[in-house]
């Protein structure tokens, strides 16, 4: 192979949506293989497990195609610049397939998991740690909190005081659930910003120049306020132009609010004038403009006094937030540490712990020989969807990458693909800035390449995408960061001739949108025609509602929401099962009982009701939850209406597998199961044949023929709604990202917006936040709009010229309006798609071919035909299955617990069996050689057993059985036998058989001896005891007769009872 | 030792040819006598199948058969005796307990290379998992006659920088051994290693045969050598093409990896089937099996390699009540027995002492039987009800709490709770093993078990084991009862039990059994990578490279062995009367991608298309069979008959105004949910407690009101209330809530002292009132009643009931004011009125009125009703004025204090009366309301699913 020039070893690819990065990745992988890299030495990480699977499939299919097809091979040769033979490819395939279980081809999480598994002790974890599901994690939190609270009561620790700090001037009625939520939501914050000094210490964080820091000690704002009021009312303050009376009134009112200010009061409820004054006075200027209908300007002592008051207010508020933050820190410190000790170190971890654990391990890791522990050495790295890597993940992989990138021999590959424009996982810790970091840090070592040719979308969709996202329009939305990375998309040779359609309709009425969408789906009938179709929303809830709506309006059209389907609570059937469980153990759960009483098929009266609940409870504890679902689910299915049967069957299946999983834990706690079930989300997949409703986030990486986006309105792009860490209790933490990109510089409970805007320091941060928010919003809609291959349909409220909200509708209007001149005919064509609509329903924009979809005809889907099974007409095998029978103890059908706990049922070797084992070894008893015999055979046997053995032999009749007779004999000790009787297989062990032989060695008669270790019961005769074993002995005789051909009369049967040193014989 | 290698032709049934070979070995001619043989088969399934066949063979000859000694390879290294070299071989209970002790008693920081980062809490659970890991490590090492010490001495890991770690391991192992020895015990792995040198050849055995054995631990070779010196011949019988092929195997008949990992497997593409997920595999199998109803097991055998598929097969056949069920020879885990569930629940109570653990435990049938057999008559429904109350009301933390409160409330559940308490004390401080045993004896004393009953199997099989473990535990010294309990649970977890096999059952064979599953057709499910070949689980002590160095079995070895087995399975069914099919999944249950087994790709290198075609087939896309049905309501709920309402409380008007339909539903079914997770006072409780503390204000009067005094009074009352409700040791959460209430009370005290100075005094608190509407919507017609018992006047009368939190009087100004406490911050207007026309068509018209040109809706009528009542009874010549309002007691100071609703008079009050009238009329003659599509707090959310109208029928009249 010649050294190639084309393939760059270290590449960072910025791949726009649909630009075929998988294709590039698979090429690279194959290249490496052909260059002689061993499959184990390549680590390829993708965003999801599913993507990893597809990646592997694609590699193999590509290899297979190239091995068979000369053209395909040629393409590779051209790409790689060396010649490749079919057999090369086959050899590489075998190599790859043979190494399948040693490949590292998965997600970052799974990679991290395997590192941890290779060295749990080094990371402070118990061996055998596992990943907790969400419900279990919550359960563990509950337990930890209970324990921590308990300890806290005992130790009188300051948790309550900390809580009081944390909720200073805020709602404080709930504590436990508040803490639970705090722990679960902010556990990682604690790890990412461990130093208490960086939590809410506003005094240190704010620059010395902050106005509130310059106020005199014990500053009294009342005085200043009174002065301001007085001066204003006495006309001592000069405004330009002069104030009108009404404005003056408003100003006085506002000043009174300043006067009455108390720390912690809700400033957002105050008047507009108050807010403006606060904001204006904090500006760095001696002049001040009060805007109320007009601008009024002033300066002088009045302004200075007001500045002091405002600074005071800001300072006081910040201090409150600082205090809260410290309270939050202290609470977190207590509960998180306690959780880590009680749960994590014991091996209960979650996905988000993985990088944190790994990056916290410091020196230990350095010392560890990772290649050895992992059984492989990673030479080559391939990373997909790099933009979604979180800083803490990056912290773990950075040193590994450095190794590759700075490798002196230049033989290792680093291939990284991502798209900052699709960085939509900011809220989950993904940080697209790492992209820049990577670019910068390794600039000299990395080749950077862009891919903007789309192999997914046709020219119509791409045109709109370019127009909207490449507009470089309104700078508040099209932030510099976005413009810097934007490059126009072009259609690939494969897609450039595909027809397509983009349309945007507006109406004020939401119902109009829904109905229009329904008509659109009816008209196109994507499922019937075989076009894939998705409905993308911003919120899960909307997806869910739309799905409900379509189902109602278009029964029979399969539509499925892909996120947030909770099979145990999203439908009446599952709720009924849960109600049964709840009612079964909580008579005071009137909800559950009421629900059951309304279920038509149960039709219960009181007495029946209780007995049903009794059955439910008993059943669960005896057989577990899966069997409960089967039993009670089936009963309900009979009551299900015909057209809901399929759906219910599906939910039943999901519940069943949920119950199975739960049962495996061995728990029978009904409350716990209910909680588990309610939180359990159904697996995705199996959706291909439906219209799929999902969030834009969920659509990442997917392609559809057509996409409908019915929810494109929303707040301004610069809203920092998410991005911060807010939990359900309203604890909202502002985290200032660390300069290094990893972790947080500092954390502060987020002040109210009015404070953020007024305080210069915060407002500067806010500005950055807003830009980030705008960028993320662009990303989100970019992802949504680049999903379709052919058609994109948008529905929204009409853009309003007065609205200042710079949201997506605003952007669309801004960028697409220029081409708004559409002919009536085209409008009509488009409107036909959505049916007759109300008067304010309008086509706002369109391009392309409205009937692109008729290309495919409706087809009746074939049900996958089944192939016939081969060779079932074969004859049965020669040796059949026989039912098995052992001629052992009498078949006890009423065994008691005492018997089961008794020794004879035990596996261990007790006295009886020890004696038995001595007899087993004894062929003939020779009194003279007895000592010698014992010496050899009694080792490992207790003295007590030996005594018993000897005692038994003291019974002369027993002894007789062991004295070697004069004629020829053969002794079988412990011989296994088997024979068939009818359809039964009878197996057993002869304890001892003595065959009496004639001189010609033929068998004349025999005796079967069996040893019994039954405890002797007083009052029970030997005959009675023997009788219990009669049946067994009969079997033995039958067996011996079958084997030897002896008649029954020639076989004597004897039982020896070792416990009473007695015997019984049948002749 | 010389091992003779013999080949048997692998075409056709291995059982048939195996039997032929065995019969030829018989030492007698009259009958089949194989008693001189020791036959080692790979699995015990193989030997039972051979036994079955031998019986039938003999039967044909009219005879029976003396069997050989059967065993599996593992048997060779398992001591048959209890004592070796004077030491007792430790049982698994003893082994685990000993490790626990060693880990507990040694200062583990002295093993820094083994434990570089010790967790903070080294408790039982950590000890057990660490102990189990070490036991497992030593088990693996023993297979190649190693232990930690020998690995250390080999210095094999030095080059990886792990020498120190092994030195630590060896030291710890040494501690463990010594600790065992002090107790006269010998570690079972050490025992095994000694045993191979000591095992004694049974007297009758003349020949040891490795019969189709494809893999066995190296240690066993030592045992064979030892046995052969005692006079036994050793022979390995190998299933393969012919004797020429014997060099593809080592002396012991183990296939050589280097040969088999390359030998092309004669597999056709049609023999492979790629399906979507476990569900698809299950239905494929059942379609296959359902084709035959007679002699199913003689015609088809099934192999299942993916445990997930296995589970699905079992459950699915249970669900479909199919004509046969699946039998899993591996049995069920001990964890899945009712006995385990019960033990776990007891353990939970044992270690936490928590009331909720006791509550859970009470629900177990076993607990109830235990109580009943202890002479108690279980009234489970009643007990549950009382337990619910103890939880909801008193938030009992510990079992002791529960006993205290149930005692005080005279609940009958106190008796069983006390029993539990005593039982627990016994387990904790008494003789643990006896305690557990007694528990079972008592719980099950009235029950008998039937060997033929499926439900009884877990008890039948696990109880004897349990008693064995208990016996072993009782011999262990130095571990606490807590630790004993954990060890016991661990033993049950690891054990297994199975249901009795039925002839019609379809056995799910494991991979190693398949050569012996000789029905003409074979279907193997779950043939995915990591199940075939089964991969070794990752072990952080011995990576594959070390395994190789130590001579342990590696993944590659397994692959080679399995490739051989695959060849064998295919060869045994290569005529036109038989078939083999391998089914593999594309995805697992949770949607993770699966890969096909790598064995399917061992093809002829020279064949140009075979491998690529195979890859394209097995890596192709497949679609799920699953239908994707649209969401639907399973049935319409039926609320049944409307019930007339004759009594209504002032506070429930709010609920009527939010949605009359839901109101009626709620009246009929009282849809209150039970909150199992309740840990602290909920918002209602919080309000109630605060209110009840505030009642004390009426007792305070002073000419010079003192804030401090008032505050103290309030706090004392609060403390009393909390103490009564939650006991003297409330949880931290309650303590915090108490602090929160106290903060509020402080502000109340402040305001109250001001108001007193201002001339206000409290006239009454918690004033209950009753009115009879006498069938009229005009309040002027209503009659004030004295009590709940007063009869209603006519059949159209409705009783309105209310409680005014507080009535103040200002004598100077001649004003009464009625106040309602709220711990939230909403004022009177906000609470009563809503400015919105949204979905107005869904509500009755009388909910609305016009105010300042805006449509306003009533959302509550509490204060108007107070006013109506008060005007009837309070006003007199001195006091002519009445005010009503809300006294907010929220967290924020700003919103604190009384807020009067001064506008509530004249027109507005008249509007309110109209609305009240409308409600009253409706109560008597309920209109056919439809559920409102959206309400603020929807009790029915979980059954209405955004479409209440479709979810529920109307009331029937
Ligand atoms: S015998 Fe046992 S398993 Fe069978 S039905 Fe009766 S109780 Fe159930």
ipTM above 0.85 for this complex: yes
SS3 A870: coil
CB A121 to CB B538 under 8 A?
A: no
B604–chain A nearest CA distance, Å: 10
Q: Could you tell me if A59 and A98 lie in one domain?
A: yes
The residue among B297, B731, B341, B317 whose CA lies nearest residue B519 is B297
SS3 B179: helix
Q: Which one of A628, A658, A679 terminates a domain? A: A679
Ligand 1 site residues (CB inside 6 A) read B 453-455
Return the CATH number at A1047. Answer: 3.90.320.10
Q: Which residues of A touch B125 (CB under 8 A)?
A: 126, 346
CB B448 to CB A894 under 8 A?
A: yes
The Å distance, Cα A638 to ligand 1 centre, comes to: 24
The answer for B 182-241 residues in CB contact with A (under 8 A) is 203-204
CA distance A543 to A570: 14
Q: Could you tell me if A798 and A936 lie in one domain?
A: no
CB A50 to CB B593 under 8 A?
A: yes
Return the CATH number at A827. Answer: 3.40.50
CB B451 to CB A891 under 8 A?
A: yes
Give the pLDDT of residue A865: 44
In a domain, A240, yes or no: no
The Å distance, Cα B369 to ligand 1 centre, comes to: 19
Angle, helix A606-623 to helix B365-373, in steps of 10 degrees: 100
Strands A42-46 and A380-383: parallel
CB B634 to CB A556 under 8 A?
A: no
CB A573 to CB B637 under 8 A?
A: no
Asked if A372 and B541 touch (Cβ cutoff 8 Å), the reply is: no
Q: What is the mean pLDDT of each run of 10 residues along chain A (1067 residues)?
A: 58 90 92 94 92 94 95 93 93 94 92 92 89 90 92 82 84 89 88 89 90 90 92 87 88 92 83 90 86 86 92 93 92 93 91 86 68 89 89 85 84 90 73 77 85 92 94 87 91 92 92 94 92 93 86 82 79 95 96 94 80 94 94 93 90 92 92 92 67 90 94 83 54 79 83 88 85 89 95 92 82 79 85 90 92 85 51 80 69 77 58 81 87 80 84 91 92 92 89 92 92 76 86 90 91 90 86
Q: Which residues of B touch A126 (CB under 8 A)?
A: 119, 125-126, 129-130
In a domain, A719, yes or no: no
Secondary structure in 3-state letters for A594-619: HHHHHCCCCCCCHHHHHHHHHHHHHH
CB A648 to CB B30 under 8 A?
A: no
Q: Could you tell me if A597 and A707 lie in one domain?
A: no
B344 in A contact zone (CB under 8 Å): yes
Q: Which residues of B touch A555 (CB under 8 A)?
A: 630
Q: Which residues of B touch A905 (CB under 8 A)?
A: 463-464, 467
In a domain, A426, yes or no: yes
Nearest CA to ligand 1 atom 3: B454
Q: Could you tell me if A610 and A652 lie in one domain?
A: yes
Q: Could you tell me if A404 and A490 lie in one domain?
A: no
In a domain, A745, yes or no: no
CB A666 to CB B340 under 8 A?
A: yes
Q: Could you tell me if A496 and A540 lie in one domain?
A: yes
A881–chain B nearest CA distance, Å: 7
Mean pLDDT of B518-530: 95
Mutate to test the pocket of ligand 1, among B448, B453, B497 (most ligand atoms within 8 A of CB): B453
The residue among B22, B509, B519 whose CA lies nearest residue A978 is B22
Q: Could you tell me if A529 and A606 lie in one domain?
A: no
Return the CATH number at A402. Answer: 3.40.50.300
Q: How many CA atoms lie within 13 A of B722 on its CB side?
A: 27
Q: How far is CA A163 from CA A173, B14, B214, B736, in A?
A: 11, 74, 66, 8
B413–chain A nearest CA distance, Å: 14
Give the pLDDT of residue A887: 63
B914–chain A nearest CA distance, Å: 33
Kindly state the helix (H) or strand (E) to which residue A82 belongs, with its residue range.
Answer: none
Residue A292 burial by Cβ neighbours in a 10 Å radius (0-12, 13-18, 19+): middle
Give the pLDDT of residue A465: 95
A61: which 2 tokens? 């299919």
Quick: pLDDT tens for B182-210.
999 999 999 999 999 988 898 889 999 99
The verdict on whether omega for the bond into residue B533 sits within 30 degrees of 0, i.e. cis, is yes
Give the pLDDT of residue A486: 93
Picking from B49, B540, B602, the nearest residue to A373 by CB comes out as B540
In a domain, A276, yes or no: no
The Å distance, Cα B499 to ligand 1 centre, comes to: 12
B162–chain A nearest CA distance, Å: 8
B381–chain A nearest CA distance, Å: 7
Q: Could you give the number of structural domains in chain A?
A: 5
In a domain, A700, yes or no: yes
Q: Which one of A348, A382, A403 terminates a domain? A: A348
Residue B650 banded pLDDT, cuts 50, 70, 90: very high
Q: Which residues of B touch A361 (CB under 8 A)?
A: 117
Give the pLDDT of residue A724: 45
The Å distance, Cα A105 to ligand 1 centre, comes to: 49
The residue among B572, B7, B604 whose CA lies nearest residue B247 is B7
How many helices (H) and strands (E) chain A has is answered by 39, 29
Nearest CA to ligand 1 atom 8: B455
Give the pLDDT of residue A763: 87
Q: Could you tell me if A135 and A121 lie in one domain?
A: no
Region class of B86: left (phi > 0), else alpha (psi between -120 and 50), else beta: left
Whether the predicted pLDDT of B576 surpasses 50? yes
Give the pLDDT of residue B29: 86
B839 in A contact zone (CB under 8 Å): no
CB A50 to CB B592 under 8 A?
A: yes
Instruction: Tell me the pTM.
Output: 0.91
A198–chain B nearest CA distance, Å: 26
Q: Could you tell me if A849 and A700 lie in one domain?
A: yes
Q: Could you tell me if A114 and A143 lie in one domain?
A: no
The residue of chain B nearest to residue A599, with distances taken between CA atoms, is B637
Give the pLDDT of residue A285: 84
Q: Which residues of B touch A883 (CB under 8 A)?
A: 503
Q: Which residues of B touch A90 (CB under 8 A)?
A: 605, 608, 611-612
Q: How many contacts does A have with B, using Cβ atoms within 8 A?
A: 606
Q: Which residues of B touch A128 (CB under 8 A)?
A: 129, 132-133
CA distance A585 to A607: 16
Quick: pLDDT tens for B921-957.
999 998 889 999 888 888 898 899 878 998 999 998 7
Q: How far is CA A451 from CA A17, A491, B421, in A?
A: 9, 11, 71
CB B619 to CB A61 under 8 A?
A: yes
Whether the predicted pLDDT of B501 surpasses 90? no
The Å distance, Cα B460 to ligand 1 centre, comes to: 14
CB A169 to CB B441 under 8 A?
A: no
The residue of chain B nearest to residue A582, with distances taken between CA atoms, is B674
CA-B452 nearest atom, ligand 1: 1
Q: Which one of A397, A423, A451 terminates a domain? A: A451
Mean predicted lDDT score pLDDT of chain B: 93
In a domain, A763, yes or no: no
Q: Could you tell me if A420 and A532 lie in one domain?
A: no
Picking from A586, A690, A900, the nearest residue to B674 by CB comes out as A586
Domain range for A960: 883-1066
Quick: pLDDT tens for B769-812.
999 999 999 999 999 999 988 999 999 999 999 999 999 999 99
Q: Identify the DSSP state of B172.
A: H
Q: Which residues of A touch B203 (CB under 8 A)?
A: 973
Q: Could you tell me if A337 and A378 lie in one domain?
A: no
In a domain, A441, yes or no: yes
B410 in A contact zone (CB under 8 Å): no
CB A656 to CB B300 under 8 A?
A: no
Q: How far is CA A524 from CA A265, A340, A519, A691, A787, in A?
A: 56, 55, 9, 12, 18
CB B947 to CB A552 under 8 A?
A: yes
């Amino acid at each position: 192979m010649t050294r190639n020039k084309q393939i760059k070893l270290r590449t960072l690819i910025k791949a726009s949506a649909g630009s075929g990065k998988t294709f590039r990745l698979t090429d690279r992988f194959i290249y490496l293989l052909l260059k002689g890299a061993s499959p184990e030495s390549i680590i390829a990480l993708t965003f999801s497990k599913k993507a990893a699977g597809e990646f592997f499939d694609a590699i193999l299919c590509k290899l297979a195609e190239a091995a068979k097809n000369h053209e395909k091979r040629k393409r590779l040769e051209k790409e790689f610049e060396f010649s490749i033979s079919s057999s090369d490819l086959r050899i590489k395939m075998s190599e790859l397939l043979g190494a399948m279980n040693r490949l590292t081809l998965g997600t970052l999480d799974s990679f991290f998991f395997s590192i941890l598994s290779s060295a749990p002790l080094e990371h402070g974890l118990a061996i055998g740690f596992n990943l907790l599901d969400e419900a279990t994690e919550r359960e563990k939190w509950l337990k930890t909190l209970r324990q921590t609270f308990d300890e806290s009561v005992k130790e009188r620790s300051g948790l309550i005081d900390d809580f009081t700090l944390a909720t200073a001037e805020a709602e404080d009625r709930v504590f436990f659930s508040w803490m639970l939520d705090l722990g679960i939501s902010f556990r990682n914050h604690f790890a990412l910003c461990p130093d208490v000094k960086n939590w809410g210490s506003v005094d240190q964080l704010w620059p010395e120049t902050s106005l509130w820091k310059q106020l005199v000690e014990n500053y009294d704002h009342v005085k200043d306020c009174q002065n301001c009021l007085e001066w204003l009312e006495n006309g001592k303050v000069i405004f330009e132009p002069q104030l009108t009376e009404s404005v003056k009134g408003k100003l006085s009112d506002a000043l009174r609010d300043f006067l009455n200010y108390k720390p912690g009061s809700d400033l957002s409820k105050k008047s507009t004038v108050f807010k403006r004054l606060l904001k204006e006075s904090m500006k760095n200027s001696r002049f001040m403009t009060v805007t109320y209908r007009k601008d009024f300007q002033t300066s002088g002592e009045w302004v200075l006094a007001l500045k002091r008051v405002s600074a005071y207010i800001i300072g006081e508020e910040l201090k409150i937030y600082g205090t809260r933050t410290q309270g939050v820190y202290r609470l977190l410190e207590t509960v998180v540490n306690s959780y880590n000790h009680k749960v994590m170190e014991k091996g209960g971890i979650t996905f988000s712990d993985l990088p944190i654990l790994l990056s916290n391990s410091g020196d230990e890791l350095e010392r560890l020989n990772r290649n050895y522990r992992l059984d492989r050495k990673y030479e080559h790295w391939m990373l997909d969807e790099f933009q979604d890597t979180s800083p803490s993940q990056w912290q773990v992989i950075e040193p590994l990458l450095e190794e590759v990138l700075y490798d002196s021999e230049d033989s290792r590959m680093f291939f990284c693909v991502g798209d900052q424009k699709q960085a939509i996982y900011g809220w989950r810790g993904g940080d697209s800035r790492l992209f820049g970091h990577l670019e910068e840090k390794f600039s000299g070592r990395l080749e950077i390449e862009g891919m903007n040719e789309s192999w997914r979308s046709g020219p119509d969709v791409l045109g709109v995408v370019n127009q909207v996202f490449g507009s470089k329009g309104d700078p508040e939305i099209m932030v510099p960061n976005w413009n810097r990375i934007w490059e126009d998309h072009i259609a690939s040779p494969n897609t450039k001739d595909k027809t397509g359609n983009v349309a945007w309709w507006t109406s004020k009425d939401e119902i109009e949108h829904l109905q229009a969408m329904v008509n659109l789906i009816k008209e196109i009938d994507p499922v019937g025609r075989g076009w894939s179709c998705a409905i993308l929303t911003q919120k899960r809830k909307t997806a869910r509602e739309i799905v409900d709506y379509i189902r109602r309006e278009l029964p029979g059209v399969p539509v499925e929401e892909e996120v947030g389907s909770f099979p145990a609570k999203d439908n009446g059937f599952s709720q009924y099962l849960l109600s049964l469980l709840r009612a079964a153990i909580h008579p005071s759960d009137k909800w559950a009982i009421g629900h059951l009483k309304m279920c038509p098929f149960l039709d219960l009266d009181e007495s029946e009701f209780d007995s049903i609940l009794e059955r439910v409870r008993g059943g669960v504890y005896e057989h577990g939850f899966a069997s409960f679902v089967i039993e009670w689910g089936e009963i309900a299915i009979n009551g299900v209406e015909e057209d809901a049967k399929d759906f219910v069957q599906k939910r039943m299946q999901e519940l069943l597998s949920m119950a199975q999983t739960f049962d495996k834990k061995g728990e029978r706690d009904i409350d716990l199961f209910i909680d588990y079930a309610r939180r359990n989300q159904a697996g995705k997949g199996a959706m291909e044949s439906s219209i799929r409703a999902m969030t834009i986030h969920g659509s990442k990486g997917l392609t559809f023929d057509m996409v409908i986006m019915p929810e494109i309105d929303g707040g301004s792009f610069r809203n920092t709604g998410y991005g911060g860490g807010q939990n359900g209790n309203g604890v909202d933490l502002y985290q200032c990202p660390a300069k290094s990109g990893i972790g947080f510089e500092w954390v502060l409970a987020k002040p109210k917006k009015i404070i953020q805007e007024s305080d210069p320091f915060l407002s500067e941060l806010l500005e950055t936040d807003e830009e980030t928010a705008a960028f993320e919003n662009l990303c989100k809609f970019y992802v949504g709009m680049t999903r379709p291959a052919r058609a994109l349909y948008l529905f929204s409220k009409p853009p309003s010229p007065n609205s200042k909200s710079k949201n997506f509708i605003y952007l669309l209007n801004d960028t697409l309006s220029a081409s708004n001149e559409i002919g009536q005919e085209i409008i009509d064509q488009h409107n036909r798609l959505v049916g007759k609509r109300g008067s304010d329903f309008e086509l706002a924009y369109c391009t392309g071919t409205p009937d692109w979809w008729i290309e495919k005809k409706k087809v009746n889907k074939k049900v996958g035909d089944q192939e016939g099974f081969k060779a079932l007409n074969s004859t049965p095998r020669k040796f059949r299955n026989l039912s098995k029978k052992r001629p052992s103890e009498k078949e006890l059908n009423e065994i008691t617990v005492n018997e089961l706990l008794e020794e004879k049922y035990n596996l261990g070797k007790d006295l009886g069996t020890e004696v038995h084992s001595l007899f087993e070894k004894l062929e003939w008893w020779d009194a003279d050689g007895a000592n010698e015999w014992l010496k050899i055979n009694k080792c490992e046997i207790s003295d007590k057993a030996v005594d018993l053995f000897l005692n038994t032999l003291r019974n002369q009749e027993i002894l007789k059985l062991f004295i070697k007779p004069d004629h020829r004999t053969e002794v079988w000790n412990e011989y296994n036998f088997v024979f068939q009787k009818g359809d039964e297989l009878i197996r057993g062990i002869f304890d001892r058989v003595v065959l009496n032989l004639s001189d010609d060695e033929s068998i004349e008669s025999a005796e079967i001896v069996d040893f019994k270790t039954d405890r002797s019961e007083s009052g029970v005769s030997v005959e009675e005891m023997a009788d219990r074993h009669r049946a067994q002995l009969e079997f033995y005789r039958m067996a011996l007769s079958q084997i030897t051909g002896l008649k029954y009369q020639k076989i004597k049967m004897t039982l020896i009872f070792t416990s009473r040193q007695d015997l019984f014989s049948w002749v | 030792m010389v091992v003779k290698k013999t080949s048997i032709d692998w075409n056709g049934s291995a059982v048939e040819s195996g039997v032929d070979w065995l019969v030829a070995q018989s030492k007698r001619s009259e009958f089949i006598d194989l008693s001189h043989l020791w036959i080692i088969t790979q699995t015990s399934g193989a030997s039972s199948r051979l036994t079955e066949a031998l019986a039938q063979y003999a039967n044909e000859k009219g005879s029976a058969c003396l069997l050989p000694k059967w065993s599996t390879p593992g048997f060779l290294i398992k001591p048959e005796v209890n004592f070796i070299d004077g030491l007792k071989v430790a049982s698994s209970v003893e082994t685990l307990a000993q490790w626990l002790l060693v880990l507990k008693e040694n200062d583990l920081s002295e093993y820094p290379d083994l434990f570089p980062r010790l967790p903070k809490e080294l408790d039982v659970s950590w000890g057990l998992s660490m102990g189990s890991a070490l036991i497992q490590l030593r088990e693996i090492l023993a297979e190649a006659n190693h232990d930690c010490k020998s690995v250390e001495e080999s210095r094999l890991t030095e080059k990886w920088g792990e020498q120190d770690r092994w030195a630590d391991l060896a030291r710890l192992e040494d501690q463990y051994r010594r600790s065992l020895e002090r107790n006269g015990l010998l570690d079972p792995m050490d025992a095994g290693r000694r045993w191979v040198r000591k095992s004694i050849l049974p007297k009758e055995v003349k020949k040891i045969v490795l019969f189709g054995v494809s893999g066995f631990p190296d240690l066993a070779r030592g045992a064979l050598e030892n046995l052969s010196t005692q006079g036994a011949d050793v022979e390995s019988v190998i299933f393969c093409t012919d004797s020429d092929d014997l060099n593809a195997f080592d002396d012991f008949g183990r296939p050589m990896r280097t040969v088999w990992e390359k030998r092309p497997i004669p597999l056709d593409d049609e023999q492979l089937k790629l399906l979507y997920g476990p569900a698809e595999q299950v239905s494929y199998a059942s379609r296959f099996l359902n084709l035959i109803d007679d002699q199913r097991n003689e015609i088809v055998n099934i192999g299942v390699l993916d445990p997930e598929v296995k589970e699905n097969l079992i459950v699915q056949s249970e669900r479909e009540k199919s004509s046969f069920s699946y039998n899993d020879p591996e049995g069920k885990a001990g964890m899945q027995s009712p006995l385990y569930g019960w033990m776990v629940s007891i353990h939970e109570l044992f270690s936490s002492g928590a009331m909720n653990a006791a509550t859970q435990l009470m629900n177990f049938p076993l607990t109830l039987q235990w109580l009943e057999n202890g002479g108690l008559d279980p009234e489970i429904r009643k007990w549950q009800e009382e337990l619910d109350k103890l939880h909801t009301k008193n938030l009992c933390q510990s079992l002791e709490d529960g006993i205290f409160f149930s005692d005080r409330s005279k609940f009958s559940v106190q008796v069983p709770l006390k029993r539990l308490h005593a039982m627990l004390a016994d387990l904790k401080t008494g003789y643990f093993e006896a305690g557990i045993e007694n528990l079972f004896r008592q719980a099950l004393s009235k029950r008998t078990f039937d060997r033929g009953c499926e439900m009884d199997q877990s008890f039948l099989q696990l109880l004897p084991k349990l008693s064995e473990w208990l016996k072993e535990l009782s011999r262990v010294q130095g571990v606490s009862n807590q630790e004993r309990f954990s060890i016991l649970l661990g033993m049950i977890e690891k054990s297994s039990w199975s249901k009795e096999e039925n002839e019609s059952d379809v056995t799910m064979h494991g991979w190693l059994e398949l050569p012996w599953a000789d029905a003409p057709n074979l279907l193997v499910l779950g043939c995915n990578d990591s199940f075939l070949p089964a991969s070794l689980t990752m072990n952080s002590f011995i990576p594959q490279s070390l395994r190789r160095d130590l001579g342990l079995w590696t993944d590659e070895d397994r692959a080679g062995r399995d490739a051989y087995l695959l060849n064998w399975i295919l060869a045994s069914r290569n005529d036109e009367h038989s078939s083999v099919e391998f089914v593999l999944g594309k995805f697992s249950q949770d949607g993770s991608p699966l890969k096909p087994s790598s064995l399917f790709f061992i093809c002829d290198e020279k064949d140009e298309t075979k491998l690529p075609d195979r890859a394209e087939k097995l890596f192709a896309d497949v679609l799920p069979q699953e239908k994707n049905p649209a969401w639907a309501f399973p049935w319409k709920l039926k609320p049944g008959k409307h019930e007339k309402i004759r009594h209504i409380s002032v506070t429930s008007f709010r609920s009527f105004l939010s949605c009359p339909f839901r109101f009626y539903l709620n009246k009929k079914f009282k849809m209150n949910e039970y909150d199992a997770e309740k840990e602290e006072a909920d918002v209602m409780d919080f309000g109630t407690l605060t209110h009840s503390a505030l009642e004390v204000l009426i007792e305070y009067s002073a000419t010079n009101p003192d804030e401090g005094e008032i505050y103290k009074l309030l706090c004392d009352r609060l403390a009393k209330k909390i103490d009564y409700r939650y006991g003297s040791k409330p949880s931290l959460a309650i303590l915090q809530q108490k602090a929160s209430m106290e903060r509020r009370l402080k502000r109340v005290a402040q305001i109250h002292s001001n108001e007193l100075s201002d001339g206000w005094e409290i006239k009454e608190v918690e004033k209950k009132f009753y009115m009879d509407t006498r069938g009229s919507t005009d309040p002027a017609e209503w009659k004030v009643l004295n009590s709940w018992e007063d009869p209603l006047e006519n059949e159209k009368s409705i009783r309105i009931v209310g409680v005014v939190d507080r009535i103040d009087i200002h004598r100077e100004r001649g004003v009464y004011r009625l106040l309602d406490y709220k711990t939230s911050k909403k004022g009177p207007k906000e609470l009563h009125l809503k400015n919105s026309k949204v979905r107005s068509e869904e509500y009755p018209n009388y909910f609305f009125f016009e105010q300042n040109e805006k449509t306003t809706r009533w959302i509550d009528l509490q204060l108007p009703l107070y006013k109506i009542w008060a005007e009837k009874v309070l006003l007199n010549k001195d006091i002519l004025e009445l005010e009503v309002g809300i006294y907010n007691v929220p967290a924020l100071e700003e919103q604190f204090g009384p807020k009067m609703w001064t506008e509530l008079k004249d027109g507005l009050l008249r509007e309110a009366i109209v609305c009240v009238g409308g409600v009253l009329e409706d109560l008597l003659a309920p209109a056919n309301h439809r559920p409102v599509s959206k309400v603020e707090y929807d009790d029915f959310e979980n059954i209405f699913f955004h479409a209440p109208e479709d979810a529920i029928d109307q009331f029937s009249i």
